[in-house]
Amino acid sequence: MARSSSRRWLHVEPVGNVSIVKFTRPDILDLEEIRQLGEQLLGLADAGGRIVLSFENVQRLSTAFVGKVVAMHQRLKDQDGRLALCHVAPHLREALELLKLPRLVPIYAEEREALEKLERAKP
C-alpha cells in the first residue's frame, strides 16, 4: 500500500522488493525543508532494502540536497541495500553529473529500468 509522509514531500510505493519514492513538490531548495526531507530519506534507508528515487516531479533542487542523497546511499550501502535515481530532468542530470553523483548512485531514464536493475542486483 502506498503511503505519503506527513509533510507531503514523499510518496512511497512498494513494487516487489523495491520501494519507489516520488517527490511531491517541484522545488527542493529551502534549507530547513531539505533538512527535514533528509531525515525522512534516512528513515527510509534505515529499513534497508532497495530504493528508487523518482525525480519526475522535480524541476529545481539545491546542491545541499545532493548531500542528503549521498548520505542515504551510504546508509543503504552499509546495510547491503541499494539506491538508484530515475526520471531526472536533463538540466538536473547535468548538475548531478558535474557533482559526480552518478559515480555513487546510478541514474536511469525510466522507473521500469531502475526497478529491473535493482531487482536483479545482488544483496
Domain boundaries of the chain, sorted by first residue: 3-120
**Given this model, what pLDDT does residue 9 score?**
84
CATH of 3-120, one of 3.30.750.24, 3.10.20.740, 1.10.3720.10, 3.40.47.10: 3.30.750.24
Provide the pLDDT confidence category of residue 123 given band limits of 50, 70 and 90. Answer: low
Digit-coded pLDDT (tens) for 37-96 = 999 999 999 988 999 999 999 999 999 999 999 999 999 999 999 999 999 999 999 999
Report the relative pairing of strands 27-28 and 50-54 from DSSP bridges.
Answer: unpaired
**Residues forming beta bridges with residue 85, ordered by sequence position:** 53, 107
- CA geometry: angle at 19 spanning 16 and 23, to 5°? 145
**Given this model, what pLDDT does residue 4 score?**
42
End-to-end Cα, the chain, rounded Å: 24
Contact 54, 112 (CB under 8 A): no
Judged against a pLDDT cut of 80, whether residue 121 lies above it is answered with no
Question: Measuring CA to CA, which residue among 112, 62, 111 is closest to residue 88?
Answer: 111
Share the mean pLDDT of the chain.
91
